Structure 1
């Protein structure tokens, strides 16, 4: 895929994922919303930041950050349900 075509495809995928996030959030499926957030982060890292062919350490750090944030949110939700 060419450079500008790749960015347009990434943009279209992000738009579709964002619409899916809104619709899923309205239905109350928060686990799916968090999963979509991780997928959107992955598309941004691999597509817009063009780390698809970059060093694995950078890819892991960038995508891993989204996974860590979502994991922290899940831990907070679980802890709040156990506490209350």
Structure 2
């Protein structure tokens, strides 16, 4: 496939260095680099996320109204800041 790409200056420098070191064409170095990068990305396996959980005991407040409690606490903090002039 024939296409046009715009290379960042650092990528261009890396390609030119690899061309000199391997005495290979631009096309060959670019294709080899893309193959290696895409294969490495495909080969990466990510371990499934596992969250540790701990028992925190019986709640001290009614959790069915947790958002209302959070709003009330936030209101108290804001009121205190206003009283202090902040």
* TM superposition score normalised by structure 2: 0.29
Which one has a larger percent helix, Structure 1 or Structure 2? 1
Between structure 1 and structure 2, the one with the greater Rg is 2
* TM superposition score normalised by structure 1: 0.30
| Greater relative contact order, per chain length (Cα 8 Å cut-off, separation 6+) | 1
